[in-house]
A and B are shown apart, each in its own frame.
Chain A
Amino acid sequence: MATPLSCAVSRSPTLDAPLDPADLPSPANEDRWEWLQRLRAGVFPLEPWLAAIEAGRVPPDSDLIAVLADRLDGAATVRLLRWWLAQPLRDPALPQGIAGHRDPVVATALRQALGDDSSTEVQVALLPLLGHQRQSQDFDLLQRRALEPAPRQQRCAALEGLGLGLSVWPLGALRSTLIQLTTDLDPGLAAAALDSLARLPDGRSSLLAVRSRALEPAVTARLERRLRSLPIRPLLLLVHGRAQGEIPAELLSLADELRERRGAPVLLRALTDPQPADLPTLEHPLGLVPLLLLPGEHVRHDLPRLRLELRASNSLRVLPFLGSWPIWQRALAAELSRQVADRPSPPASPPLLLHHPIASPLGGRYLRLLASITGATPQEAAYSSERFEASLLRHQGPVLPLALAANRLTEALTPCFGAAAAPLLSRPALRQVLLEQLEALP
């Protein structure tokens, strides 16, 4: 049986003394806590406290600093920071207790304190706080301190500064700095760089970029953990397909490997499929990737229709058609360059980009752009070698059929051009580029 309880304990006497720094009870005095709580709850002029600390009349104990910190403005923070810097014996924990507020004045003071002649102790204490101020101009200093040969704590402090301001630094420079640090001989530093890299926009792509580097085993394991945990969309690869929706083996193989690499669903749909299967229910938004090479009818009409259809049942992110990806266009150029380089002597005629007939002005503009990037001449090719133009049959230079997988075009070209007419996904370098790009998609 319980009875009402009332067990009041440990009451301190009421303190009526004015809240003057000289009256602050010593840390060993049991009244100090309540005194500080009164200080915290009240409105008090800061100046006497700053002056008392500067004059050495009141030690900046952590409990007092915790109370004062709420009231510090930029100027007051700078005063305490300068006082700290002037001390022969510095409490390394003090700066983070006073410089938690972001203020340009504080950033300037930190920057000045972090000159090249500052000690390691100062660097270690202040570099994270400079990052916390999140002023983009400080990237260079933090980057330099993180990369330069210096005591480990200093480099770690600079990297922490980069981490604390992550979204304000110039992305490209930040990414390359972090990538560089992932191979650092210090595994702790490398791991921290990796974790920051994973937080960047398109972190998955950044992480894949370091996968092939010589990483410490612990860092490699960390990399795989980060990759596994990054959210990843299921992909729907939209392809042209062959008659009755048949999907060529090159594309099936690509999807299989992609599924394995991403650890997420990769679906295929052919535009030629008369009765496409319903999509399964997916947990995450779907990424629709049109693996189409030219801005023809399929891209301009079929794709928007499909997008509307899919949006009715799925959250969708639609990527541009493959032929418009700059990295793909550069890969085509590189493939043609390889063909040229593989010949014993320079080809007599310029390379050809063989494509199926395309009539729209947009298609024409696209082909001219591709020609300027690849240095090749677009050439329309019929679906039967018997209907090829005579000039094509006489062509002695490299050719590249704009077909990802075997289709009527590549089959028609093969009797004339042999292996040179192989579809693009049969070419290891192009397949690899596409695979890596698809793998890196969020």
Chain B
Amino acid sequence: MSASSTPSPAAPLPRLEEAKASFSGLDLAPRLEQLGRDGWESLDEITLTVHLKWLGIFFRPVTPGRFMVRLRLPNGAIEAKQLTVLAELVDRCGEHGSADITTRQNLQLRGLLLEDMAPLMAALERLGLTSRQSGHDNPRNITGNPLAGLDPEEWLDTRPIVQAIQSALLGPGGPRNLPRKFNVAVGGAPDSFLLHNDLAFLPALRDGELGITVLVGGFFSAQRNELAMPLGLWLRPAQVPAFTLAVLHHYSAHGNRSARNRSRLMYLVEALGLDAYRAALRATYRDLGGADPDLLDHDGSHLVNRAPRDLCGVHPQKHEGLCWVGLNVPMGRLEADSMAELARLAASYGSGELRFSESQNVVIADVPADRAEALLAEPLLGRFPAVPGPLLAEAVSCTGNHYCGLALIPTKSTALAVVEELERRLEFPEAVRTHWTGCPNACGQPYMGQIGLMGAKARKDGQMVEAARIFLGGSMQNEGRLAELHHKGVPLDELPDVLEALLIDNFGARRRSAAAPLSVPS
């Protein structure tokens, strides 16, 4: 093993690593009620801003005193009764309350006070939900096929695998202090593009048997972007949880803790070399009680061969007579009333089950075909359309500078205004995926967009103005391709014109007749 990624035993740990090692934020859980009742003056800043994230509680510097809670929704699945309670929790935050569907099929609630945390955590427990270890240096929400179990095209139902991984990771043998955040995903359908994850499991055949091939090392950051590479191992679904534990234990022990910008899994794989890394995982898996001979070699081929489908609209499920109805949630932003109404629709028209997608949209499951038309006539679909415009359907956005101090532009509102303006001006032969992010940290995954946009500043008429860098060429087809920089900074008020030209030149868009340009708020 190369030691370049790991500090020598004598090297002092960075302050943050010392803080992480000295105390587990999970130990704060029993104190939440007391903190809510007596105030939280006793918490030092590191506890407030770092350790609470182990419970999924985020101090937000942009809204001091108003916290965010990030849940864990394995496979993006949620029940109507759960969403109803979450809607109430957001509602009590009034104008400060909202929720975002994230690019990890997850939900994060905003505007909460620390006094809300104990009742919120109790409510989550009653509902069978958790927010545990959803932030900071932890394994993040585990994603899966948002149509798992409904999908006529799926190779395998990802839900039980994803759930089993979560149980393993949050169970007594799970990791509690990783060098950095860690993304795990399980694909089950031909359109499960997951190569941006540190650890991706994709459906694959081996000697005619359906199983899972392992890919490692995908991540986006301000410094570097990588797609996951085949590890060369093939698993049966039952092996996946223990194997995931092995990957994380090895990463916890050997990952780089001295430089946070070089600590994602890919750096460890590079430091060891792929063959040595694979061998080390086999050993760790064996040490954890896994059966080593069962970790079979594989050529890395898999059954994912096309970009993710647009989930919006009415689609037949694998179950005779039932449909899923996908709704577009513009930029993934939910308010209390829309959350409650979504829950009502899911319970009234379907089985009560909903799924969130990585494209920040929502699927209502198990709608009888003869009730789909009535569902489409519901007023909420005026806000969350089942047939959105070709840009809106695939627009993904980070939270923006309203809630994040790092974002350089108001991402969601800008994205929505620009997308609506472009749809007003242009006709499109097919949907175009735009990914919007407020800063180089790339939470909005701009490198995955056919068009990626990143918040920036630019000079215009001698003034510094809000702007966006433009990336082009991202693909989520079979092997994937990352978008590359096309423009260093377009002032936001010029963005519709610049994107209009790009869409015409590169994506076959055509101008509608008599469309007059509108200004975009900057």
Docked Cα-Cα span, A165 to B59, in Å, equals 15
| CB closest chain-A residue, reference B204 | A2
Q: In the assembled complex, which residues on chain B have CB atoms less than 8 Å from the CB atom of A12?
A: 223
Q: Judge whether A234 is part of the interface by a CB distance below 8 angstroms.
A: no
CB < 8 Å neighbour of A7 from B64, B299, B482: B482
Q: Judge whether B518 is part of the interface by a CB distance below 8 angstroms.
A: no
Q: Judge whether B395 is part of the interface by a CB distance below 8 angstroms.
A: no
CB within 8 Å: A-B pair count: 148
Docked Cα-Cα span, A132 to B114, in Å, equals 11
Docked Cα-Cα span, A69 to B49, in Å, equals 12
CB < 8 Å neighbour of B65 from A3, A7, A164: A164
Q: Evaluate contact between B61 and A199: CB separation under 8 angstroms.
A: no
Q: Evaluate contact between B113 and A199: CB separation under 8 angstroms.
A: yes
Docked Cα-Cα span, A196 to B115, in Å, equals 10
A33 touching B464 in the complex, CB below 8 Å, given contacts A10-B485, A69-B61, A134-B41: no
Interface membership of chain A positions 1-21, coded 1 if the CB is closer than 8 angstroms to chain B and 0 otherwise: 111111111111000000000
Q: In the assembled complex, which residues on chain A have CB atoms less than 8 Å from the CB atom of B260?
A: 41
A10 touching B64 in the complex, CB below 8 Å, given contacts A28-B464, A225-B91: no
- Give the bracket for the number of chain A residues in contact with chain B: 35 or more
Docked Cα-Cα span, A226 to B115, in Å, equals 15
- Give the bracket for the number of chain B residues in contact with chain A: 35 or more
Contact segment of A97-105, A257-265, A269-277, A421-429: A97-105
Q: In the assembled complex, which residues on chain A have CB atoms less than 8 Å from the CB atom of B229?
A: 4-6
A198 touching B92 in the complex, CB below 8 Å, given contacts A11-B224, A100-B61: yes
Contact segment of A58-66, A236-244, A377-385: A58-66
Q: Judge whether B427 is part of the interface by a CB distance below 8 angstroms.
A: no
Interface membership of chain B positions 182-223, coded 1 if the CB is closer than 8 angstroms to chain A and 0 otherwise: 000000000000010000000000000000000000000011
Interface membership of chain B positions 376-409, coded 1 if the CB is closer than 8 angstroms to chain A and 0 otherwise: 0000000000000000000000000100011010
Q: Evaluate contact between B408 and A63: CB separation under 8 angstroms.
A: yes
| CB closest chain-A residue, reference B215 | A2
Q: In the assembled complex, which residues on chain B have CB atoms less than 8 Å from the CB atom of A30?
A: 456, 469, 488
Q: Judge whether A229 is part of the interface by a CB distance below 8 angstroms.
A: yes
A9 touching B484 in the complex, CB below 8 Å, given contacts A33-B440, A65-B405: yes
- Can you identify 16 A-B contacts, CB atoms within 8 angstroms? A1-B301, A5-B480, A28-B456, A33-B222, A33-B440, A37-B223, A41-B260, A63-B406, A69-B405, A97-B61, A100-B59, A100-B61, A165-B65, A188-B95, A201-B37, A231-B119
Residues of B within 8 A of A (CB): 36-39, 41, 45, 59, 61-66, 85, 88, 91-96, 113, 115-116, 119, 122, 195, 222-230, 259-261, 274, 299-302, 401, 405-406, 408, 439-440, 447, 456-459, 464, 467, 469, 478-482, 484-485, 488-489
- Known pairs A10-B484, A33-B222, A69-B405. 10 more at Cβ < 8 A? A4-B229, A5-B226, A5-B228, A8-B224, A9-B447, A26-B464, A27-B464, A166-B113, A191-B94, A201-B37
User: Which 3 pairs show the lowest CB-CB distances between chains A and B?
Assistant: A27-B457, A66-B405, A164-B65
